Amino acid sequence: MRVISLAGSPRQPSRSSSLLALSHQWLASRGVEVFTYNLQDFSADDLLFANFSSPQLKQLIAELASADGLIVATPVYKASFSGALKTLLDLLPERALDHKVVLPLATAGSIGHMLAVDYALKPVLASLKAQEVLQGVFADDSLITDYHTFPATLDPALAGRLNESLENFYLALSRRRPIANSAASLSAQVLRV
């Protein structure tokens, strides 16, 4: 299995990126290949001026095409996910997440922003034709400490929710059927009839 991780925080390290790093470790321990990207991998000019020819953007698109899933992490600002992340997602092709399982992770300074994932981020991921966007994890900033070092310290309840979400993500990846296998299976069934 191959997974792309995308850190949507404009600064590194960050609390949302620390959740992503813990997710990498969890997935790697189960034999999942994880390819990491963060906003700093992309030129600010390419993002701001919608450079669809950006080599870094083309590389991300190629990696996404061969991936089974995506984990995207973002801080919540002004009741929505990172604007820089939105700029990057806007540059992806319409079907960039076709046949992909997506796990969103978000952090914010207040629990009052909990619904930002459901009302802001998930619709964008769905518009990119994700096969399945999972429930994900939202964390109040106070639940993540020592995020400047790895591993960050998580509140035990948050650690439990992250582990549960990663289990669900792993199971969803396991039951995912890539389009090539589905098409081949359908062709074989048609030939037998």
**Predicted local distance difference test score (pLDDT) of residue 186:** 35
Mark the ranges of the chain whose per-residue pLDDT is less than 50.
Answer: 181-193
Is residue 98 helix, strand or coil? strand
114-140 pLDDT per residue, tens: 999 999 999 999 999 999 999 999 999
CATH number at residue 181: 3.40.50.360
Tell if the pTM clears 0.85, that is, is over it.
yes
What's the total number of domains in the chain?
Answer: 1
Range of the domain at 158: 2-192
- How far lies 116's CA from each of 57, 78, 95, 96, 107, in Å? 26, 9, 23, 22, 10
Is residue 77 helix, strand or coil? strand
**Predicted local distance difference test score (pLDDT) of residue 176:** 78
**4 - beta bridge partners?**
35, 70
